[in-house]
Structure 1
Amino acid sequence: MTPPKAPPLASLAGATLVVTRPAASAASLVRPIRARHGTPLALPGLSLRASDAGLAPLRAAGRYDGWIFVSPAAVRFAFRAEPSLRIASGAWVCSVGAGTRRALARHGIAAVAPSERADSEGLLALPDLAEVRGRRVALVGAPGGRELIAATLRARGAEVEAVHVYERMPPRWSARQLQALAQASAPLITLLSSGEALSNLVAQLPRDTLARLRRQMLVVSSERLAALARANAFEDVHVAASALPADLLAAAQKALARHRL
């Protein structure tokens, strides 16, 4: 008997999707966009740079009762800085989303991630983080962002140490990237999962190009980003269920279908 065929992926044919994730993580969106017959256009909203500020905490990993990794980049840079990182037996590990959990699994680390909300609020609702009084927690990421996690855990009585393994930097776009964006075929759908990336787009894009993006579709990963985008004059904002590529593209497909009605 011939096995049933998988259902076809919903089409993004004819649309240009602007991918604003840093270059190292853009592939997780570029590949499925092409599989759906859309045209990906990479325009990183920020760049990431390794930081050695977290090296000492990583080398003293055994003293922490719990670990929180805020992104796949946090995992990547942590193990780049300290390839022999060993988390103490009995310590718990949490991640903000499923992508970060998978990145940890590739290093043999089992982590717990929220099943419904891949954000700070979803993480803080995990049972592992309900009773943390007196516990020493390593929060692995970059300076700025995720302040809610540290503040909430400290309010619950934890001793939280920020372990900065990378830094977020403004993007440096080439003339070719800017030209490709200016000449990209409509409809355009910009995919955004970072408030800092949005700020960089608004501050650094040429005026005419930014005005065009503001008139086109924007898909964001949270209501918080949606409010920020509308405050920055974006007119057609759509909210995805999460920052996961599948959720961002599902929202893009719905936005495109609505646009074509």
Structure 2
Amino acid sequence: MKFLITRAEPHASQLAAALNAKAISTEAVPVMSIAPVELSGAARSRLMNLDLYDSVIVISANAAELLAAHLDQYWPQLPVGIEWVAIGQATANMLASELGELSSDQIHVPDGTDSEALMQLPVFQQVSGAKVLLVKGEGGRDVIHQTLSERGASVTELVLYQRQPAMEFAEQLVQVFRQQPQFVQIASGDSFLNLLAMLEGHLDRGSVVSSDAYWLVPSDRVADLLHSHQVRKEKVLVCNGASNQAILARIQELL
């Protein structure tokens, strides 16, 4: 079996090692490039005034890593009294590792890996008048901002990076698809759209989405996106999140 991993390093190698241990052959081709954005004066002000926020929500491991690098310039010691929240255990681990002063058990992590799961956390049930800093990449869904605002919180966004198709790996991706992988790992809706953009002009889109490959996705929302692009429903496998354990468990169920 050939399994295409679309994550960037070091996460790609970690998943590859777990799959290789199960005798599954892997090929890693990143489909997303993360480009840090230049901070505006307003963004720097939000970092310097971190102590004014009641909660800080960190959307991804990339956001956690970049936030820690910026805070190192402004806060030799983190302000107290902030509720730290991360989507996914990988993001929480990155935040704890990079900041140093936080342990993983001091960071709120939802059971799921999407915005809806985050909004179920007890810390966000009574937020009227609270000030929340949302640390994220450019674009993406608006569920967190909208839901917290409706509950009476004041939400400020801190955008630290852009997501772009990793076009420098397009030819490698084309070669993998020509070899017809049995599994394709997709981390998000953006990852899937980037993959299609990288294959554009090289392979017919219809042949890609109608192939016999199984597509492993982290949520029903991402599955719906694939269905809207004519990927057959029986070929989309929804995992319980994007972790290595969730992906391995879903493959084991199938096999």
Aligned to 2:115: 120
Aligned to 2:227: 230
> What is the RMSD of the two structures over their aligned residues, measured on CA atoms?
2.1
Aligned to 1:111: 107
Does residue 3 of structure 2 align to residue 22 of structure 1?
A: no
Aligned to 1:150: 145
Return the letter of the residue paired with 2:220: E
Aligned to 2:46: 57
CA contact (8 A) 2:209 2:229 kept: no
Higher mean C-alpha deviation, range 245-254 or range 62-71: 245-254
Matching residue within 182, 191, 194 for 2:188: 194
Does residue 88 of structure 2 align to residue 88 of structure 1?
A: no
Q: CA deviation at 1:88?
A: 2.3
Q: CA deviation at 1:32?
A: 1.3
Return the letter of the residue paired with 1:97: G
Write 1 or 2 for the structure with the bigger share of helix: 2
Q: CA deviation at 1:24?
A: 4.8
- CA–CA separation in structure 2 for the residues paired with 1:248 and 1:136: 36
Q: TM-score, length-normalised on structure 1?
A: 0.84
- CA–CA separation in structure 2 for the residues paired with 1:50 and 1:210: 33
For the residue of structure 1 that corresponds to 2:152, the secondary structure is: coil
Higher mean C-alpha deviation, range 38-47 or range 146-155: 38-47
Aligned to 2:68: 79
- CA–CA separation in structure 2 for the residues paired with 1:76 and 1:249: 26
- CA–CA separation in structure 1 for the residues paired with 2:126 and 2:8: 35
Q: Deviations over 1:161-196 (max 9, x none)?
A: 111111111211336513540454x55200112101
Aligned to 2:155: 160
Return the letter of the residue paired with 1:171: A
Return the letter of the residue paired with 1:62: D
Q: CA deviation at 1:22?
A: 3.1
For the residue of structure 1 that corresponds to 2:156, the secondary structure is: strand
Aligned to 1:219: 216
- CA–CA separation in structure 2 for the residues paired with 1:72 and 1:132: 25
CA contact (8 A) 1:190 1:213 kept: no
Aligned to 1:243: 242
- CA–CA separation in structure 1 for the residues paired with 2:174 and 2:198: 14
Higher mean C-alpha deviation, range 231-240 or range 29-38: 29-38
Aligned to 2:57: 68
Return the letter of the residue paired with 1:98: Q
For structure 1, list consecutive stretches of 5 or more residues without a partner in the other structure: 1-14
Aligned to 1:9: none
For the residue of structure 1 that corresponds to 2:107, the secondary structure is: coil
- CA–CA separation in structure 2 for the residues paired with 1:217 and 1:44: 18
Distance of aligned partners of 1:208 and 1:249 in 2 relative to their CA distance in 1, 3 Å threshold: farther
Q: TM-score, length-normalised on structure 2?
A: 0.86
- Aligned pair count reads 240
Q: CA deviation at 1:218?
A: 0.6
Q: Deviations over 1:201-221 (max 9, x none)?
A: 223312258724642111111
CA contact (8 A) 1:23 1:47 kept: no
